[in-house]
Homo-oligomer: A and B are copies of this chain.
Amino acid sequence: MVNNLKNPTLKEVASLAQVSTATVSNVINNTKHVSESVKKQVFNAMEALNYKPNEIAKSLRVQQSRLIGILISDISNDFISKVVKGIENTLSEIGYNVLLCSTDSDFEKEKEYLNVFMGKRIDGLIISSSGTGDYEHYEDLIKAKVPVVFLNRCPDHFPSNMVMTNNIKGAYSATEHLIKHGHKKIGIITGPLHFSTGRDRFIGYQRALDDYGIPFRKEIVLEGCFNIESGYELTKKLFEENIDVEALFISNNSMSLGAYKYIKEQGIKIPEEIAIYGYDDPEWADIVDPPLSGIKQPAYQLGIYAAKKIVDTVQGNCTETRGIKYLDPEMVVRKSCGC
Where the two chains meet, the residues of A that have a C-beta atom closer than 8 Å to any C-beta of B are 5, 7, 50, 52-57, 59-60, 65, 74-78, 81-82, 84-85, 88-89, 92, 97-102, 104, 109, 113, 115-116, 118-121, 140, 143-145, 228, 257, 260-261, 264, 282-284, 286-289
Contacts and interface: CB of A to CB of B under 8 A. Distances in A.
Contact of A287 (B53, B260, B286): B260
Contacts of A115: 52
Nearest to A79: B76
B88 A102 contact: yes
Given A76-B81, A81-B81, A101-B88, A120 B60 contact: no
A57 B99 CA distance: 18
Copies in the complex: 2
Contacts of A261: 286-287
Nearest to A262: B287
B283 A228 contact: yes
7 contacts: A54-B60, A56-B65, A89-B104, A97-B116, A99-B100, A261-B286, A287-B288
A239 to B, nearest CB: 16
A55 B283 CA distance: 41
A62 to B, nearest CB: 10
A336 to B, nearest CB: 12
Nearest to A299: B76
A56 B59 contact: yes
B85 A74 contact: yes
B283 A288 contact: no
Contacts of A92: 101, 109, 113, 116
